[in-house]
Amino acid sequence: MAALLLGAFLSSRPAWPDPAPEQVRKSLAGAAARQVGVTTLYDPSYVRLAYPNGDVPADRGVCTDVVVRAFRAIGVDLQVEVHEDMKKSFSAYPRTWGMKRPDRNIDHRWVPNLLKYFVGIEELQHKPHVSGRRGLSLWSQLPREMA
């Protein structure tokens, strides 16, 4: 299994013009902190989700579900953003899972898809730390075969 650390820490170059970047950084950090201790059961099961704002029960999920919930708490639905981006540029996303088309139930729940959405897999292969879309800083030890 790939060792991966996806850090949702805001960089000094946030992408939100309004509200003020400092407010966004604090809001996202607070939303992420409130996730601690909530999701206590690791459950990578495929689940049919509502769209938009679909989620598995809050007490279970995977690392990406925690990131998605933190963003959703500040008004950003990564389920929609990632799925819509994949519909526009599916060929640019990793094919690790054998997907033949976007799937709104799972697109946002896979780390390689979030990494591609935020910064692009190619950039992460060359640098373990990058700043990307939505002003995030991401750290990865994603192996080349995951791209």
**Domain edges within the chain:** 9-146
Which DSSP string corresponds to 67-90? HHHHHHHTT--HHHHHHHHHHHHG
**Can you tell me the mean pLDDT for 70-95?**
92
Lowest mean pLDDT among 23-32, 34-43, 102-111, 126-135: 126-135
In this prediction, residue 139 carries a pLDDT of: 57
Phi and psi torsions of 10, nearest 5°: -75, 135
Two structure tokens written together for 69: 């919930």
What is the per-residue pLDDT for 143? Answer: 54
Task: Please check whether residue 78 is in contact with residue 67, taking contact to mean a CB–CB distance below 8 angstroms.
Answer: yes
The predicted structure's pLDDT at residue 97 = 79
Sign of the dihedral through C-alpha 106, 120, 41, 70? negative
The amino acid that residue 92 corresponds to is A
Give the pLDDT of residue 95: 82
Give me the pLDDT at residue 28, please. Answer: 85
Q: Tokens 């929609």 label which residue?
A: 80
Greater pLDDT, 64 or 115: 64
- Interval 132-139 mean pLDDT: 56
Q: Which two tokens stand for residue 15?
A: 């992408």
**pTM, whole model, 2 decimals?**
0.75
Radius of gyration (Cα) for the chain, nearest Å? 15
Q: How confident is the model at residue 96 (pLDDT cuts 50, 70, 90)?
A: confident
Report d(CA 78, CA 81) in Å as an integer: 5
Whether cis (ω within 30° of 0) applies to the bond prior to 17 is no
